[in-house]
Structure formats: structure tokens, C-alpha cells
Chains A and B, each alone.
Chain A
Amino acid sequence: MRLTVDGKTIDIDAEPEMPLLWALRDLAGVLGPKFGCGIAACGACTVLIDGAPVRSCILPVAQVEGDVTTIEGLARDGTLHPVQQAWLDGQVAQCGYCQAGQIMSAVALLDEIPEPTDEEIDSAMSGNLCRCGTYPRIRAAIKRAAAMRAGA
């Protein structure tokens, strides 16, 4: 099976029903997406497929059509993606475990709605659980990233 992940082509020998998350983590060694629930209820495993956010824990690898982007593929030549930079500037992460998923959801949101309202942020991000409660800083960072991109 052939996948494009973060711009690289990888061949994986997986059963078709194996979820993308585990194919990435255990077979391809791409450890950025995290396992949190396995039932699409927490968002820790979020990756982008052709730009759209997907919960990789329930998506059979055989059904992947399109380019997969994980948190590991966001930075370009050592320069952080504006969303990552906003996260860094806003000191968002606590334990950090949910943050790969949060950042991927935020990237997808800002690609679709460059200047989201509070309600749009809430609805795009409510599938991403954070047990450390970093939400106040996530909101601020999304706005900062939006402003950064508008200014760029």
C-alpha cells in the first residue's frame, strides 16, 4: 500500500482495515498523531487529508485517498507554520499530548476561514479534547495566527 505522508511516499504492508493512525505510528514511524480514544471522540489523532481534518483512528488505511499531512509536515525548512508559531508565542501547550490534533484542526479551520469568529472557532475545535484545559490560550493563538497570516 502506498501513501503520501508529509510530502514523502511511503509503502506500508498493512491489512486494509488497519486504521491510518496505527499504520502511521507503528508501521511508518510517524509519531506526531496521537492515540487518545480510538472512537473519533477526542481529536488527538487528527491529520489532514488533502487539507481536510480527519480522525485517523477510525479511518481504515485502505480508504485513504489523497495526501496525508501530519503535525510533522507543517514546518517548512525549519520555519514553523504560522499556527505553530502562534502556539509557541502564546505558550499554549501544557502536557502537550492533545496539541498535535489541536494544531491540525486549527490549520484546517484557518485554511477554510481565514478570520474565524469565536463561534466558528468553537465549532471547528470542539471535537478536540484537552484534559489540561488549554482552551483559553488555544482561542487566543488561533486569533494570533489569523492576524499573522492576514499580515503576511
Chain B
Amino acid sequence: MNETAHPNSFRNQPDERGHFGQFGGRYVSETLMPLILELEKEYVKAKSDPAFKEEFEDLLANYVGRPSPLYYAERLTEELRKGASEGMGAQVWFKRDELNHTGAHKINNCVGQILLAIRMGKTRIIAETGAGQHGVATATVAARFGLPCVVYMGAKDVERQQPNVFRMRLLGAEVKAVKAGAATLKDAMNEALRDWVANVHDTFYIIGTAAGPHPYPELVRDFQSVIGKEAREQLLERTGRLPDLLVAAIGGGSNAIGLFHPFLDDPDVKMLGVEAAGHGLDKDHAASLAGGSPGVLHGNKTYLLQDEDGQIVEGHSISAGLDYPGIGPEHSWLKETGRVEYTSATDKEALDAFQLLCRTEGIIPALEPSHAIAAVVKVAREMPRDAVICANLCGRGDKDIFTVADALGVEL
């Protein structure tokens, strides 16, 4: 248990052993343990090194294209007000991380981690990927720094995300299709861990979400927190106050924690994380908080989809990036403390929200943030007109047009 937490702050997790309350930790094999400890030490040093900060910020500004804009979605707001009662229908704002280089928030974290890899003298990069967005972002920074890169991707995801597979190859990465298990993200992560354990001497594992053994959940959160820091400043400047509600989609939880974390100690800011409900919470889904229970997988203790023997159950979501049976440990803790509320959106609701945003705002979102937009659609109508919602538009939909066409019965 976590005796060191100050009950008056939600921003001082994890404790020195990497625990967020009962969650998190370092559940890895002994071979990896020394490396994890070294990474932690190096990260602590990097955090207080102005040169590291400067290089990170320079790359975010000039390579990634930050700060990403904060955008008031006027027509979407108006559209949602149509179904609302008198005086209701909150303003919807988007944090536009889909405009980043490579098209999603994933690159923020990859820039931070590759700088750590270089500090540690590692010469080879590995990563896991589901939708391929993190794989593309990792291949991108590996190319930028001239390091060889291997990306593990479930064979099923290789099939359904061909454009991203080709992108990674263009960027010089080797994409290894993982046939084990259900051949999706979870299996790709297993395979990346197997590679790492055999190559600890020269290899850095760039994990793509705020999960895995400590210090990954912390460092991924810190690198992604640029989203929330910018949003906080931009909202204060544009609306003169803090938002009433933040909304973000949750796969492993990195874009969500990146947006939420800088606001966690602002008690008037409510937060809503949106998991993938797939075909429905009573059917196949990927909502670990709604439909799972605490357990240990991939180096951390967190909510997992699992059966009565603790065997991991496959997730399902139309969005390959949300199709993961776990969630970052900080979200498990934020759920248990009640600081953040979590809900879910089905494949169908996400598809509807996807199309709604296309038509009302001229923005084609990725299927992952479409889940967040689906939740916004539901809650905006129940909030007063002067309320401000800020949702994370964490990825663009180019990669998803084939999946969406397929779901809509359109042949391309």
C-alpha cells in the first residue's frame, strides 16, 4: 500500500517503488530487473538535466510541430445543442494532437524515450504496436537518430493496418509479425519483452503507452503531459478559466493521462476516460476498468480482462489502438480514488462519432479519439451552455479509412 501519497495531491504518484496505490510496480523477470533500475536512475537524472529538457522541447517544437492548437468546435457544439434542453449544450473544444508529425500523440513519448536511449548508450530500438501509430512514431524517431529499429506487431494487426506497416518499412524499421496467441497488441508486447530480455546489453524498449514496469508508466505520462500543460495554458488564455470537463479515449491510457495529469489537482475540473466497449460490455470489448479486475501483466499490476483463473482474455475493439486487455496502472488508481470517472463507447457509437466529426468540423479523426467524441456527444447535452469540455483529438483518421469503409459496407 502507498503510505507516501499525500492525500491532498493526485500528482505525486508513483511512490519510490513505482506503485500507484496498489497498482503499478515492477513485475518483470530477474534478467530485466537491473535494466529497469538503471532506466529509472537515468530518468531521474535526465529529469533534472536542463540539456535534456531543452533537447526534448526543441524536438517537440521543430520536429513534432508543437504546441498543437486548441480548437473550438463551433459547428459540433451547435449540432449537439439541437438535441439539448433549454440552456444546455456545453462548448466542445479539441486539443489537436492529431496535427502532430506522424498523426497522433504517440510521437511525444517516442521523442522523450529515444533521448533516454541515447543517454544510456543503447544502440538498438524495439517497440510493440497495435494500430501501428506507435510503431510509426518509433520508426520515425529511430530514423531521425539513425538507430536500427524492430517493431513487433500482431500478425492480425499487420493484416488490418497495411498502410502503417508500409510506413514503418519506408522509415527503415523492420516489422516483425507476431503469430503467437491472438496475434494482436498483447502478443506483440510479449514478443517485444522476449526480444528485450535477450538483448538487454544494447537494446532500448520504447513502450507505447503509460503501462509496463516502473518507470515506464511515469515517464510516458511525463512525456505526454505536454498535452495537458499546453491545454491548460491555452484554455486559460482563450476562455479565461479552467475547463469543466476533460475527455480522452483510453487504450493503455497515455493520451488520457497526458491530458489529465496537469489538471489532477484542480478540483473543479472533472475528467472522463473512455474505454472501448466493442460490441457491448456484455459481449466482446476492451474495457478493462469496466469489465476487468486487478491482476498482473506486462510488468505492472492493473485492471485486466481475465477469467476466473487469471488467464488473460482477448480484448475486442474496432480500433486496433484500444484493443488491449489492460490499462496503465495510474488509471486504475485514479478510478479507485474516484478522481477520474471512466465510461465506455461501443464500436457503433465510435463510428457514428467519427462521421459526425467529419461532417460538422471537416476533421477525420482516428477511431481511438472517436470513442472520446462519442462520450462528448452524450455528456455535452447534459451540461450548461457556458460549460467548457476539452477532448483530446489524439490521432487523425487516415489510417482508419479502410476499417471504417469496411464497417459501413463500402467497398474501396
**A and B bind:** no
A interface residue numbers (CB < 8 A to B): none
B interface residue numbers (CB < 8 A to A): none
